[in-house]
Amino acid sequence: MSTNSQSIAAMTIEELQSRCLQLEEQCRQLEQQNAELTAKLNWFMEQLRLSKKRQFGVSSERTEALPEQLMLFNEAEVAARPEAPEPDLETITYQRHKTRTRREMNLEDLPVEVVEHRLPEEEQVCPHCGGLLHEMSTEVRQELKIIPAQVKVVKHIRYVYACRHCEREEISTPVVTAPMPAPVLPGSPVSPSLLAYVMHQKYGEGLPLYRQEQQFKGLGIELSRQTLANWVLHGANTWLTHIYDRLHEYLLQKDILHADETTLQVLREPGREAATKSFLWLYRTGRDGPPIILYDYQTTRASKHPRRFLAGFKGYLHVDGYAGYNELPDVTLVGCWAHARRKFDEALKALPEDKRNAAVAAREGLEFCNRLFTIERDLKDKTPEERYQLRQVRSKPVLDAFLAWLKTQKSRVLPKSSFGQAINYCLGQWDKLTAFLQDGRLELDNNRSERSIKPFVIGRKNWLFANTPRGAKASAITYSIIETAKENGLNPFQYLRYLFEKLPNLDTQDKNALDQLLPWSDSLPSVCRVNN
C-alpha cells in the first residue's frame, strides 16, 4: 500500500470531510481566478481590436446590415430595369440644358473676363474660292484663372486748412484738418485688410504664422512672425473682443444651447509645466437663429468654468455626458444619442470578426439607437410643436422598450467590457438622454457642437500649441468671430476687414453701434456676404 493510501486510510471521517471541503474551496478559487483571467483576456482583446480599428479602419459608424436586411439597401439592384430603353441623344441633351450642376452655378457667381479669338481681316478669306468669310457661330471654353495675393502701399494724406483773411488781419487763425479714419494699430503699417488676411489665414485656413512669414517674403515683404503675432494679439484682444462680448450677451438670452470642450496646450502658463493640458470650451446656439459660436479658453476642465460662462442662462443645454455640467443651476441637460450609439458601435467592433455580423446583443442596442435616428430624420421638416407630439407617439415607445432591454442586459454582462460600458453609459445618462422629449426644438444629439469644435481641432494640428494665455485667449476670440461669421453666411476675411475698418472709429461702449456690426446685421455691406 502506498504512503498516500496509508495516510488516507488512517484519516478519520471528519478529517476526510474537512479535506474535501478544502479541495472544493481550492477548485472554486481556481475557477474564479480562471473566470477573472478570461474576462481580462477578453477585455484586452476587445481593446486590441478597437485600437486596430481606430488606427487602420474607416472612422464611419455606419451600421452593417444583417444578411436578411441587405435587400432593403440594394437600391441599385432593386431599381434596375434591364428591359427599359436607353435614353436617346435628344433626351440627354434636353436634360443637360434643363439641369444646372453645382459647378455651373458656382461659376456663374464669379466675375468673368472675356477673351475673344478672331481671325485677322486679311485671313477672313475662303481657302476654297477666295470669297469673304462671315461669323457663323462661336465655340466657348471656360477656365478658372487665379490671381495671387498682391501687396501695395496705401498712403493716407490728409490736408490741413487755414484762413488767409484771418492771417492778413493778424487775428487768431483757425486751422481745419480733413478727417481721416483711425488706424487699426497706431504707429504700425498694418491695414485692416492685412490684419484680416493674417488672422483669417491662421484661424480660418490653419496656416501658421511662420509659413505666412515665408509667403510674405516671397512677395518681397519682410514681416517676422513676432510682428505678425503682435498684430494678431492686438486685433483680437483690442477690437474683436468687443464683438465677442456682445455675442456672449446674446448667447445667454437663448433658452437652448450646446456645449463641448477639447484640449489645448499652452506653453507659458504661470505656475504650470509646458506639457500640462488646458482646455478650450465651446458654447453655441441650437436650431433657433441667428447662429452664435463662442470658444472660451480655460486652464482646467473644472465645472466652475461653465458656471461662470453661462451665469444667467436658463434653459436646455445639450452636452456629451461630462459630469462638469451637472452643477449648472436652472439648466436641464440634454444627452447625446450619437455618443450612446457610438458605445454600441464600438462594442460591436470589439467582437471577433466572425461574430460582428451575427444577431448579438450589441447589435440589438445599436438598432434601438438607429430607430430613434430614423424617426428624427422623418421629423426633420416638422414644426417644433408637431415634432414634440410625434415624438410622444413614435419615440417614447422605443425608449420604454430600450430601457427595459438595458435593465435586462445589465445583469448578464461584464461591467468593464465594451458592451457593459455601453449599457452602463445609457443607464447612467438616461434622464439626459430622454430630455429631448420635453421640447420639439431639442435635438437627438450634440453633433452641432462637434461640428463647431472641429475647425479648432483641425487647426490645432497645424500649430500644435499656444505660447501664452494671452495668445490662447486671442485664439478663442478669433475662432469665435470666424466660425460665427461662417454660419451666418458671411465671408470671414471680408467680415474681419470690415470690423477692423469700423471698430477703431466708433464708440465701443455703444451697444447699438456694436449691434450694427454683428454677423446677422442688415447693415453689413454686401461684400461681406458669401453670395453678394
Residues 248 and 224 in one domain: yes
Domain holding 483, by residue range, is 191-334+446-531
**What distance in Å separates the CA atoms of residue 374 and residue 395, rounded to the nearest whole number?**
10
**What distance in Å separates the CA atoms of residue 433 and residue 445, rounded to the nearest whole number?**
9
- Does residue 96 lie within any of the structural domains? no
- Does residue 287 lie within any of the structural domains? yes
Residues 218 and 324 in one domain: yes
Q: Do residues 473 and 346 touch, judged by C-beta distance below 8 A?
A: no
Residues 426 and 365 in one domain: yes
- Does residue 117 lie within any of the structural domains? no
The Cα-based distances of 44 to 124, 278, 337, 500, 519 in angstroms read: 82, 30, 26, 55, 50
Structural domain ending residue among the three candidates 444, 464, 499:
444
pLDDT one-digit tens code per residue, 393-424: 999 999 999 999 999 999 888 888 889 999 99
Q: Nearest 5 degrees, angle CA 425-CA 366-CA 322? A: 25
Residues 222 and 255 in one domain: yes
**What distance in Å separates the CA atoms of residue 324 and residue 434, rounded to the nearest whole number?**
19
What pTM was estimated for this model as a whole? 0.78
Residues 459 and 319 in one domain: yes
**What distance in Å separates the CA atoms of residue 457 and residue 260, rounded to the nearest whole number?**
12
Residues 407 and 493 in one domain: no
pLDDT one-digit tens code per residue, 132-177: 999 999 999 888 888 888 889 999 999 999 888 888 887 787 889 9
pLDDT of residue 242: 98
- Does residue 132 lie within any of the structural domains? no
Structural domain ending residue among the three candidates 420, 444, 468:
444
For the record, the C-alpha cell of 103 comes out as 459647378
On the 0-12 / 13-18 / 19+ scale of CB atoms within 10 A, 146 is exposed
- Does residue 152 lie within any of the structural domains? no
Distance from the Cα of residue 42 to its chain's centroid? 35
Residues 479 and 419 in one domain: no
**Which candidate, 302, 264, 306, 260, places its Cα nearest to that of 284?**
260
Domain count, the chain: 2
Lowest mean pLDDT among 65-74, 338-347, 378-387, 501-510: 65-74
Residues 493 and 372 in one domain: no
**What distance in Å separates the CA atoms of residue 324 and residue 347, rounded to the nearest whole number?**
26
DSSP 12-76: -HHHHHHHHHHHHHHHHHHHHHHHHHHHHHHHHHHHHHHHHHHHHS----PPPPPGGGGGGT-HH
Return the amino acid letter for 300: T
pLDDT above 90 covers a percentage of the chain that reads: 59
Helix (H) or strand (E) holding 265: strand 256-265
Omega before 189 within 30 of 0, i.e. cis: no
**What distance in Å separates the CA atoms of residue 212 and residue 203, rounded to the nearest whole number?**
12
For the record, the C-alpha cell of 368 comes out as 434601438
pLDDT one-digit tens code per residue, 354-370: 666 676 899 999 999 99
* Pairwise pLDDT comparison (354 vs 129), residue with the higher score: 129
Cβ neighbours around 256 below 10 Å, total: 18
Helix (H) or strand (E) holding 263: strand 256-265
Residues 234 and 380 in one domain: no
Residues 391 and 452 in one domain: no
- Does residue 354 lie within any of the structural domains? yes
For the record, the C-alpha cell of 212 comes out as 505666412
pLDDT one-digit tens code per residue, 194-248: 999 999 999 999 888 999 999 999 989 999 999 999 999 999 999 999 999 999 9
Lowest mean pLDDT among 30-39, 80-89, 200-209, 478-487: 80-89
pLDDT one-digit tens code per residue, 446-458: 999 999 998 888 8
Task: Quickly state the pLDDT bin for 33 (edges 50, 70, 90).
Answer: confident
Please list the helix, strand and coil fractions of the chain in percent, rounded to the nearest 5, in that order: 55, 10, 40
* CB hemisphere CA count around 25 (13 angstroms): 6
pLDDT of residue 434: 98
**What distance in Å separates the CA atoms of residue 72 and residue 50, rounded to the nearest whole number?**
28
* CB hemisphere CA count around 66 (13 angstroms): 11
Structural domain ending residue among the three candidates 444, 467, 494:
444
Residues 452 and 432 in one domain: no
Question: DSSP character for 413?
Answer: S
Task: Quickly state the pLDDT bin for 286 (edges 50, 70, 90).
Answer: very high
- Does residue 186 lie within any of the structural domains? no
- Does residue 472 lie within any of the structural domains? yes
For the record, the C-alpha cell of 89 comes out as 441623344
DSSP 227-238: HHHHHHHHIIII
Asked if residue 426 has pLDDT above 70, the reply is yes
**Which candidate, 449, 521, 394, 56, places its Cα nearest to that of 281?**
449
Max CA separation in the chain (angstroms): 146
Query: In the block, which residue shows the cell 477666295?
Result: 130
Cβ neighbours around 333 below 10 Å, total: 19
Residues 207 and 315 in one domain: yes
